[in-house]
Amino acid sequence: MSENSWAKMGPGEEFDLIRRMAARWGDLVQQAGDDGAVLDVAHGARLVASTDSSVEGVHFRREWLSLQEIGYRATVAALSDLAAMAADPIGLLIAATIPADVAETVELLADGIGQAARDGGAPIVGGDLTGGDRISLTMTVLGAASPPIGRSTAKVGDRVWVTGRLGGPGAAVRALLAGNLPSAEHWPRFAHPVARIAEARWLAEHGATAMIDISDGLSSDARHVAAASGVSLEIDVMSVPCVPDVVPRAACTSGEEYELLLTAPDEFDVVAFTSRFAIPLTQVGIVVENAGAEPDVTFIDGEERVDLGAGYDHFSA
């Protein structure tokens, strides 16, 4: 269906489901009831758009997460892409596939989506609903940035920084795959990540040159920055900030962190950042000229060069 409205719609099971979700969202829902949502980008700002799917069996397993957590994580994952661009959210469009058993308690899914949208300041402006066998949530986020910060603008001589502490989601998934209960310190980092929207804005205003969110793992995402910027990165593995009981090497390949990896020419006022956002901001490396023909990322532990292997992959379904 081409229906964008969450309110003024005809009868039918699909519309009832949408109405039940919209009822949970309340004034988060902003729409004109038309085929498309109408939005404004502030004069001088640029529009940033990204789409991100969370599919049962590919990006999560239903037995691991509550419906609230599934909705919340899918929304944060998308909003994190706006954060990575230093953009402020202006709208969220939700394309959802909802199996029949999930439809019974769709309010829980809506609550999770609603919490993340509210946390991120993203009004829900449209969507599309389909029945199906597996939960699939495709979240499209729209934001405004002045200016956006990409990943292709890291400069030789820049320092490399990371927000927060890494390794929690990786440790939680390893525990689950081994049939164990994840630790109380790792589990929330997997089930309840945070899109670093305000942090990104602060970092952009204080001199960040390039930025990416850590969704594929620090190791892979650092390579994305290096490749896009045409520079190489040297990461000091032992300086990577880790959650408790995770070693730095594991933290470097833990995905779905939704922390920020960024470059900047000067020191940040780390005390100001930490006192404002209550998470660490840590220098983990430097940007150097390419030693070889291609941009590369080198991981170093003291004098030793570390091979972290392949990047993060979603667990195989």
What's the closest the beta carbon of residue 58 comes to its own copies, in angstroms?
Answer: 5
Looking at 62-70, 186-194, 239-247, 309-317, which segment touches its own copies (CB under 8 A)? 309-317
Q: Which of 29, 72, 75, 91 binds its own copies (CB under 8 A)?
A: 91
What's the closest the beta carbon of residue 260 comes to its own copies, in angstroms?
Answer: 10
Q: Which amino acid is at 89?
A: P
What's the closest the beta carbon of residue 131 comes to its own copies, in angstroms?
Answer: 6
Residue 110, Cβ neighbours under 10 Å: how many? 25
Residue 276, CB-side half-sphere exposure with 13 Å CA sphere: 14
Question: What mask, x for binding its own copies by CB under 8 A, covers residues 289 to 308?
Answer: --------------------
Looking at 61-69, 91-99, 102-110, 172-180, which segment touches its own copies (CB under 8 A)? 91-99
What's the closest the beta carbon of residue 269 comes to its own copies, in angstroms?
Answer: 25
* Nearest CB to its own copies, comparing residues 278 and 293: 293
What's the closest the beta carbon of residue 51 comes to its own copies, in angstroms?
Answer: 4
Residues 209-228 within binding reach of its own copies (CB under 8 A): 212-213, 215-216, 220, 223-224, 227-228
* Residue 196 found at the interface with its own copies (CB under 8 A): no
Residues 4-23 within binding reach of its own copies (CB under 8 A): 4-5, 8-10, 12
* Residue 100 found at the interface with its own copies (CB under 8 A): no
Bridge-partner residues for 93, per DSSP? 126, 140
Question: What mask, x for binding its own copies by CB under 8 A, covers residues 221 to 260?
Answer: --xx--xx--------------------------------
Task: Label the pairing between strands 297-301 and 232-236.
Answer: parallel
Q: Which of 160, 157, 159, 183 is nearest to 170 (CA)?
A: 183
CA dihedral 172, 173, 174, 176 (to 10 degrees): 90
Q: Which of 65, 74, 102, 142 binds its own copies (CB under 8 A)?
A: 142
* Residue 138 found at the interface with its own copies (CB under 8 A): yes
CA 203 to centroid of chain Cα atoms: 16
The three-class DSSP label of residue 141 is strand
What's the closest the beta carbon of residue 40 comes to its own copies, in angstroms?
Answer: 6
Q: Which of 20, 24, 30, 46 binds its own copies (CB under 8 A)?
A: 46
The conformational region for residue 26 under phi > 0 = left, psi -120 to 50 = alpha, else beta, is left
What's the closest the beta carbon of residue 32 comes to its own copies, in angstroms?
Answer: 5
Residues 49-88 within binding reach of its own copies (CB under 8 A): 49-53, 55, 58-59, 77-78, 80-82, 84-85, 87
Residue written as token pair 């940040």? 268
How far is residue 13's CA from residue 121's CA, in Å, rounded to a whole number? 29
Q: Which of 119, 128, 296, 301 binds its own copies (CB under 8 A)?
A: 128
How far is residue 58's CA from residue 74's CA, in Å, rounded to a whole number? 12
Sequence-separated contacts (24+) of 15-22 with Cβ below 8 Å: 17/98, 17/103, 17/106, 17/129, 18/127, 18/129, 20/106, 20/107, 20/110, 21/106, 21/107, 21/109, 21/110, 21/113
